[in-house]
Structure 1
Amino acid sequence: MPQEVDISTQETLGDWELTKSWNRTFTSHPKRAPYSGELVIMGVDGQKPYFEVGVLSADGKKIKTRVDANYNRCTFCHDIRVTEKYNVIIDFPLVVDMNRLFNGGPLIRFEKEQFARIGVMPRYGDANSIRWFDVATCSVFHLFNSYEDDDEVVARGYQAREAIIPGPELGLNKFEWFSKGFKKIKSSDGTNNEDLEEGLLFARTYEWRLNMKTGEAKEKYLTGNEFAMDMPFINETYTGLKSKYGYTQVVDSIASFNTGIVKYGGLAKLYFDEKECENFALGKEKLQQMVKIEYHMLPKNAFCSGAVFGPKVGALEEDAGWIIAFVHDEDTNKSEVNNLTELLTWFCYFDECPKSRKY
């Protein structure tokens, strides 16, 4: 449940006062709607209604609308996106099934043979107003942003061929499964020609263009196979609006492969309006046009998480600001989340050298 925090003291005050009006899970990634300041939220449940969308007033004192999206399954989903007029919701087949659990199966399973779709609904719409777009089945946990572009709603996020949650099926070697999954892919379609089990967890930037006029969905990769990435974020001033830049955490595939645990060894800045060609050198693969990426890698055995963008006050440029991330150096064992004085936080302009400071 969301907590209320005193901004001046950072003291936790307790459960959010509207908890009684929202008696279900609360998304980890609520979104503030452009211009209105309203907060768009969602929550899932293991029983009907499986998925609900809510809109909070800008002052946070009232739930203006609460809608059952009429899902026919409970999906493990914790992200939602907005545009100027719409809420963007996802229905991908990482399914929570209580009946399966009662019958001896896993509670959560990625059902890769099932459908995937993205819904676009008016801000205060109901289930009947949702425009659904069928898309290629994949695993999606996090979205960069979404915005309106003429007749299209554009959504960008990270997708992989397999879900990292809940892990391997019973009986499979956990370390081997994770290690294979993190292995670097070699082809533009996200697979390795030699072994289809390799690179299943290799997440890449992806774009869906949803045409509200024709009902067509166009989708494509925006990044190649140099690094897997996830945990995207932007300058939140541009939430729901067209943004030129995105930021993300970069997976250290070797460290992840060797340990069987996903580790982020750097940060990246994506230039969505600038293109570069990447060559997949296997067989018949050709040059692929991808977005420009600028990488900032951490020292060996240093890994980051929880990165956010802090905009510079008064700046006009979208990318004027700092990236702030928790960084843990495994060689020195510096930084612990539960001890703020030991946090190693990375501040940098992307046009300057990275600098580390201890706080």
Structure 2
Amino acid sequence: MAGPDDPPALALENIGRRFGDTAALSGVSLALDAGEVVCLVGRSGCGKSSLLRLIAGVDQPDEGRILLNGAEVAGPGRFVEPEERNVGFMFQDYALFPHLTVEANIGFGLKALPRADARARVAEVIERVGIGALAGRFPHTLSGGEQQRVALARALAPRPVVLLMDEPFSNLDRGLREALRVETLAHLRALGTTAIMVTHDPEEALSAGDRVALMRKGRIVQAGTGYDIYDRPVSLYAAEFLSPGSRVEGLCRQGRIETPLGTYPAPAGSREGDRVVLFIRPQALSFAPQGEGVEARIVNRAFMGEREQFTLAVNGVAETLKLYASDRPHGAIGDWVHIIVNPGATLIFPHADTKCDS
């Protein structure tokens, strides 16, 4: 683990990158301590992969600096070539060399070591990742999960300062994806490897990283632990990206927010007449006894195993609401029911946030 006076394993300082008139990245700053795993998440085109390319050294920033263990590798007048940075990279398609065995693939990045040391390191990594039975095989004979393990071993073999993973589990089916994610993170933490994992899946980001950095249009709009950004999203964009939910418009009057679902305490700084948007996650809603709460009509219900998802329409609310129930309540499509909202589980944002939610 890093000491209090140690520099970050990776530091990005005000990074900018343009392609013609398009700003792919703007003002990106982020620091990772040694052994920290950060998930970089955001919609397609937000700049995630562009940022990885800059860190790896296959592209150069137009602005800002990149430092590895306190040493500048990219900045004004300074550029260290990719092969001299010791940055590991796991590609989405694994990019294994088809003409090399698993063992040779893993040792490919160790050519600078004496042959005996390289063989020892390959054997160590193969044992660590648990792929000894695959050592003499070629990539085309491996399953997707096996290829993923080999790609991880190859990336870890040179003991990188930081490991970059670009959607490393997206080509796997759901069950295998979850198992290999847990396995991979266990290896990274056992080895104390610093890593950035790019993903478009908010659930994966929230569960996998020590911290999550949410990107939008070339900027990091929020960074923190999964709990931080889920419980306290700084914008409607962040709330909607991280969780399903519905928008309900409201109006501030006499210190309260009035909505078709009831009234709520106004957040600090609200002014009389302000328009706001409540973001209501499915778990904030529950069914109420007849005559209590707000009347809603069942538009759809979908059985999802441990829970059932209800889609509900409420008079005066433009969007349908989602409600999760685990007790399989009665009610057919078209029936009227009553629901209540947990005020403590609702999020309130300025109405202006709705203008920039892409």
TM-score range, shorter chain: under 0.3
Higher relative contact order (CA 8 A, sep 6+): 2
TM-score, normalised by the number of residues in structure 2:
0.25
Calculate the TM-score normalised by the size of structure 1. 0.25
- State the structure with more CA Rg: 2
Which structure shows the higher strand fraction?
1
